[in-house]
């Protein structure tokens, strides 16, 4: 059975705490090495989804425009047929009233034709600009897909390279943790989380706390060297250890 925490001396606990810190700092380094990659990958995935949606919408819009054009072309044909029919009837009108009515109908068909021609022109212009936008989006998509693949590969490589190392370190950290009471481990984790650099156990450097650089009084430094109790920095709350213990 492993040695129970309460059976260990303060010095041994301090050493265990220092070991925990060294290992956790190494693991932090590994995570830093992976750095922004996981975030970059998920950002790229979001971007890709957005781009794909955009392309899908553009394709639907173009389909609709093409349908408008074909409907308008048919409409023009129908209006043209009607117009020709009315023009023929114009040759055999019996009175002014009939003439006026037919002329009005022909005018209406002309207006319809103009309207539909304008629709065709507008839709054609829109298709041209959408085609350019679609091409641009497809190119961008291709680029992003490639970029994502590269980032994923890179992340995979780094993860693979560091996974074994991280696992080994985690096991070591666990072993050290068992030497210290849960209460202290919890405090250690709390302090680590509170500081960006993840330092909960620090040495005294040039009479100052290695975490916050506050001066550590000589009396306290003496106590530290005795390793009889766990001493915290009064300013930042980190666990202080003497330099010799760290080396
Ligand atoms: Zn401090």
Q: What digits encode the pLDDT tens for the residues 86-138?
A: 999 999 999 999 999 999 999 999 999 999 999 999 999 999 999 999 999 99
The yes-or-no verdict on residue 2 having pLDDT over 80 is: no
Opening angle at CA 90, ends 84 and 96, nearest 5: 145
Q: What would the pLDDT profile of 178-194 be if each residue is shown by its tens digit?
A: 999 999 999 999 999 99
- Among 29, 11, 20, which residue's Cα sits nearest to residue 202? 20
Contacts of 235 (CB under 8 A, 6+ apart): 209, 212, 214
Indicate if 188 and 223 belong to the same structural domain.
yes
Indicate if 50 and 132 belong to the same structural domain.
yes
166 CA to centre of ligand 1 in angstroms: 28
Separation CA 69–CA 53 (nearest Å):
24
237 CA to centre of ligand 1 in angstroms: 6
180 CA to centre of ligand 1 in angstroms: 21
The yes-or-no verdict on residue 223 having pLDDT over 80 is: yes
Position 172 scores a pLDDT of: 95
Position 3 scores a pLDDT of: 52
Place of tokens 């330092």: 199
Q: Is the residue at 174 inside a domain?
A: no
Longest dimension (CA), the chain: 127
Position 113 scores a pLDDT of: 97
Indicate if 220 and 113 belong to the same structural domain.
no
Residues paired with 202 in a beta bridge: 240
195 CA to centre of ligand 1 in angstroms: 11
- Among 126, 122, 120, 121, which residue's Cα sits nearest to residue 73? 120
Indicate if 19 and 57 belong to the same structural domain.
no
Q: Is the residue at 45 inside a domain?
A: yes
Indicate if 158 and 55 belong to the same structural domain.
yes
Position 245 scores a pLDDT of: 85
Q: Is the residue at 125 inside a domain?
A: yes
Indicate if 42 and 110 belong to the same structural domain.
yes
* CATH code at position 85: 1.10.287.1490
Indicate if 152 and 39 belong to the same structural domain.
yes
216 CA to centre of ligand 1 in angstroms: 9
What is the number of structural domains in the chain? 2
Per-residue pLDDT band for 35 (boundaries 50, 70, 90) equals: confident
Structure tokens at 136: 């641009």
Indicate if 92 and 134 belong to the same structural domain.
yes
Q: Is the residue at 172 inside a domain?
A: no
29 CA to centre of ligand 1 in angstroms: 22
Q: Is the residue at 237 inside a domain?
A: yes
Do the Cβ atoms of 105 and 82 come closer than 8 Å? yes
Position 4 scores a pLDDT of: 58
11 CA to centre of ligand 1 in angstroms: 20
Separation CA 187–CA 183 (nearest Å):
6
Q: What would the pLDDT profile of 38-96 be if each residue is shown by its tens digit?
A: 899 999 999 999 999 999 999 999 999 999 999 999 999 999 999 999 999 999 999 99
**Containing structural domain, residue 159:** 35-163
**Single residue among 128, 163, 198 that ends a domain in this structure:** 163
Work out the percent of the chain whose per-residue pLDDT is above 90: 87
Q: What would the pLDDT profile of 127-143 be if each residue is shown by its tens digit?
A: 999 999 999 999 999 99
Phi, psi of 24, deg, nearest 5: -60, -35
Indicate if 58 and 155 belong to the same structural domain.
yes
Contacts of 201 (CB under 8 A, 6+ apart): 17, 18, 20, 21, 188, 238, 239, 241
Q: Is the residue at 170 inside a domain?
A: no
Indicate if 213 and 142 belong to the same structural domain.
no
What mean pLDDT do residues 129-158 have? Answer: 95
101 CA to centre of ligand 1 in angstroms: 99
Q: Is the residue at 82 inside a domain?
A: yes
**Single residue among 163, 195, 213 that ends a domain in this structure:** 163
Q: Is the residue at 92 inside a domain?
A: yes
Indicate if 47 and 74 belong to the same structural domain.
yes
Position 7 scores a pLDDT of: 80
Indicate if 61 and 17 belong to the same structural domain.
no
Phi, psi of 211, deg, nearest 5: -100, -50
Whole-prediction pTM: 0.59
Q: What would the pLDDT profile of 198-208 be if each residue is shown by its tens digit?
A: 999 999 999 99
178 CA to centre of ligand 1 in angstroms: 25
What mean pLDDT do residues 210-239 have? Answer: 94
């Amino acid at each position: 059975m492993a040695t129970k925490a309460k059976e260990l001396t303060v010095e041994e606990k301090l050493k265990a705490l220092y070991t925990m810190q060294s290992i956790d700092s190494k693991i932090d380094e590994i995570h830093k090495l992976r750095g922004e990659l996981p975030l970059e990958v998920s950002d790229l995935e979001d971007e890709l989804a957005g781009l794909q949606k955009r392309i899908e919408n553009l394709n639907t819009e173009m389909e609709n425009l093409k349908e408008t054009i074909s409907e308008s072309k048919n409409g023009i044909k129908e209006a043209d047929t009607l117009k020709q029919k009315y023009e023929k009837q114009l040759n055999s009108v019996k009175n002014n009233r009939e003439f006026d009515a037919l002329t009005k109908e022909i005018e209406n068909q002309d207006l319809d034709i103009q309207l539909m021609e304008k629709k065709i022109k507008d839709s054609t212009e829109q298709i041209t600009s959408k085609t350019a936008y679609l091409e641009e989006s497809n190119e961008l998509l291709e680029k992003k897909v490639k970029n994502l693949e590269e980032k994923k590969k890179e992340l995979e490589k780094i993860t693979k390279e560091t996974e074994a190392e991280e696992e080994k370190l985690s096991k070591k950290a666990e072993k050290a943790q068992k030497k210290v009471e849960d209460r202290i481990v919890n405090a250690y984790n709390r302090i680590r989380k509170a500081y960006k650099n993840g330092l909960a156990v620090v040495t005294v450097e040039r009479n100052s706390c290695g975490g916050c650089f506050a001066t550590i009084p000589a009396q306290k430094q003496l106590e530290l060297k005795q390793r009889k109790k766990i001493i915290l920095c009064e300013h930042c709350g980190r666990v202080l250890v003497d330099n010799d213990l760290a080396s």
